[in-house]
Amino acid sequence: MRLENKVALITGGASGIGKATVKKFVSEGARVAFCDVNEELGKALLAEIGAEHDFQKVNVADRKAVQDWVDSVAKKYGHVDILINNAGILRDGLFVKVKDGQLLKQMSEEAFDSVVAVNLKGVFNCAQAVAPYMIQNGGGAIVNMSSLVALEGNYGQTNYVATKAGVVGMTRVWSRELGGYNIRVNAIAPGLVLTEMLLSMPEAELEKLRQKPPLKRIGTPEEIANLYLFLASDESSYISGEVIRIDGGMVLGT
């Protein structure tokens, strides 16, 4: 019960890593308020974990919707202790694709802007809405989702890498600005994780991916949730401003 009497907000909580984190935090005693754009999956998870918790349909790119969500959670539970900025999207594509000197295709402005809106601005929106409540409460923990690719880069992910590198930068700024209020801010940088997207791939392709990390397997959502839990709990009370890789020892490009 490492999160007993804590109130935790989790974005992108209806599936994948977010769902595993919601269930982990509930099992550790937290009252969990989670949001997602998928209302059907969100309501199904709420029915599973119990009505003492909270789900709302929220697009983290919508600043007003985020503020309304955070305000309602603070009003319902009286305080906010933890924010897990987990929500994120992919819109992969080559920066430019050229053949015989002719431009064939390039990443669209829409693909760039939509990923920035959710993965970067969404993190900003949620943290800025939550921080005043944590200050009033005497402290808290914010954990942001970055990625291994923020540190290494990755082919075909200009937009995604830019946002995840931006999250690293914001994490380090906020750890400085909010530390005096006893608010710890950290980020995690996962490598390959066995989410629904990977599970939909052919087995032969999955096996190739398993061979990439030195540990010769793909991480699970539960393993990522365990790291979220550690950084949200008092067990990490002197850790702030860090970006912790959780990737099985993987180095991209090798």
Please say if 160 is a catalytic residue: yes
Catalytic residue among 155, 160, 228, 238: 160
Residue 54: both structure tokens together: 């909270």
**Distance between CA 163 and CA 160 in Å, rounded?**
5
153: Cβ–Cβ under 8 A, 6 or more apart, which residues?
Answer: 161, 252
CB atoms within 10 A of CB 184: 23
Count of CA atoms in the C-beta half-sphere (13 A) of 63? 6
**Distance between CA 171 and CA 237 in Å, rounded?**
16
H helix or E strand, kind and range, residue 10: strand 7-11
* C-alpha to C-alpha distances, 237 to 53, 84, 145, nearest whole angstrom: 25, 16, 19
Active site residues: 160
